[in-house]
Amino acid sequence: MSEDKVTIKISKDVYEKAKQYIEKYGGFNSVEELVEFVLNEALSEEQGEAQRVYSKEEEEKVKERLRALGYI
Amino acid sequence: MVAMVSKPHGGRLVRRRATGKRLEALREEAKELPKIELPYDIAVDVENIANGVFSPLEGFLVQEDYLHVLYDMRLSNDVPWTIPIVLDVDPDEIVGVKEGDDVALTYNGKPIAVMRVEEIYGWDKKEYAKMVYKTTDTRHPGVAKTLEKKELLIGGPIDLIDHIESRFEKYLLWPEETRVLFREKGWKTIVGFQTRNAPHRGHEYVQKAALTFTDGLFINPLVGWKKKGDFKDEVILAAYEALIKHYYPKDVVVLAVLRTAMRYAGPREAIHHAILRKNFGCTHFIVGRDHAGVGNFYGPYEAWDIFDEFPDLGITPLFIREAFYCKKCGGMVNAKICPHGEEHRLKISGTKIREMLKKGEKPPEYMMRPEVAEAILRFDNPFVE
Ligand SMILES: [Zn+2]
């Protein structure tokens, strides 16, 4: 899994704000997760594919359940 | 028709399902928190919020949003929203709870979510009834239910920490799943169909009329509390399975349930139903005659007219007139395409169908497919007692 990841630097200020956001609203386990989500969303919006907001792994999980239930 | 990808309502699909370490931490925290026990209807809506069915809502409405929804049918950020999703509590249930505190929401005594209490506020239940149901007549089931609610509302985001088991687990799909599913099927246009009935020929007609110019059909019955005399949930599903098996091409239909209460709010609920299906990934939504109506509280086409007020809804409503069998036309038609008089028309009556089934009889084929009737009659008692 780790070889699929790269390191990105962001300003401390934004990082702190992101941390506070998560503390306040929850929904994300880490700043990393939030950053990935927001970026993904921005990019998929650009491509007109707003529904592709989940990671590959999560999507695989969804497909597994759909297959198990006979939907695909 | 322009192929469009349906965006979740408000821009992104909400996900407030705690996972991993955060889930563990919240489950621990919930043990110590003040607890608010939820009735089933609200508990399932907590799960709907967490799984994005109610996107962009992240929790129960705070006062500013509540008032906007009540009077403008929009959230305070102007996104269309017509049914206030609120959590009512008694003052003595929240003794010592302040704004900013966390509380545990429980169902059958088990914590299912943690809620951050952003605001505690009073509300005028009669005013709610007047705005949402357009009446304060207690013979309206939604009004009666509203007036019985508790004195205060609490608003704030929720984080789901447990799932409420369903009798229909196999049919329980969430928006992130249907969106993947529709994409896997290669569907670009998907029409949503709301129902609380076993399908007769009229339902089949409107679904197929819509399916003629869309890629896929999403049949999405509401399961949960029903009035006495309505079809049982398991009967509706069995009836649809029979219809799909015998009368729909392979791979054009997805059948999944939605657990949420009927409000019987007519036009407002028609918009609400459309928004929910938009979140599931539908691009189109069939709006019935007197959609979500009850008794004579709403005009037959009020639920169509209200869509004029929401050009920015982001899902296309389809208004298809109810079908009947015309002897002269020689098939199922509707008033828009059949020029013949009443004497040639055989009406499909839901009441008549139910009466016949109650006696163990198969309705005539122009009303209900025999395979569907057989599937229903396999149940000892297909109706809610
Ligand atoms: Zn005719």
Which residues in chain B are closer than 8 Å to A67, comparing Cβ atoms?
Answer: none
For CA atoms B53, B194, B319, B211, the dihedral sign is positive
pLDDT of residue A29: 82
Whether cis (ω within 30° of 0) applies to the bond prior to B157 is: no
Query: What is the average pLDDT score of chain A?
Result: 79
A65 chain-B contacts, CB cut-off 8 A: 177
CB contact under 8 A, B180 and A66: yes
B216-223 vs B253-255, strand pairing mode: parallel
CATH 3.10.400.10 residue spans of chain B: 9-160
**Residue pLDDT, tens place only, A21-37:** 888 877 788 898 888 87
* Whether B116 contacts chain A with CB within 8 A: yes
Mutate to test the interface with B, among A19, A28, A52, A62 (most CBs of B within 10 A): A62
Predicted local distance difference test score (pLDDT) of residue B205: 96
**Do B279 and B53 contact (CB within 8 A), yes or no?**
yes
Residues of chain A contacting B186 with CB distance shorter than 8 Å: none
B21 touching A (Cβ < 8 Å): yes
Average pLDDT over residues B20-47: 96
Q: What is the ipTM of this complex?
A: 0.86
What fold does the segment set B169-377 form as a domain?
A: Rossmann fold (3.40.50)
DSSP state of B38: P
- Would the CB atoms of A62 and B173 count as touching at under 8 Å? no
Would an 8 Å CB–CB cutoff place B185 in contact with chain A?
Answer: yes
Going by the DSSP 8-state scheme, the letter that residue B312 receives in this structure is T
For residues B117-123, give the mean pLDDT. 98
- H helix count then E strand count, chain B: 12, 16
H/E segment holding residue B345:
strand B345-346
Question: Distance of alpha carbon B53 from its chain centroid, rounded?
Answer: 10
Asked whether residue A48 carries a pLDDT value surpassing 50, the answer given is no
Alpha-carbon distance A22 to nearest alpha carbon in chain B (angstroms): 11
Tokens of A12: 């401390």
Phi, psi of B184 (to 5 degrees): -60, -35
B139 interface with A at CB cutoff 8 Å: no
Q: Show which residues of B are catalytic.
A: 196-197
Q: State the span(s) of chain B assigned CATH 3.40.50.620.
A: 169-377
Put simply, the answer to whether A71 touches B254 (Cβ < 8 Å) is yes
Mean pLDDT computed over B239-245: 98
Beta-bridged to residue B284, according to DSSP, are B191, B316
pTM attached to this predicted model: 0.87
CB contact under 8 A, B16 and A26: yes
Q: What's the fold here for domain B9-160?
A: Sulfate adenylyltransferase (3.10.400)
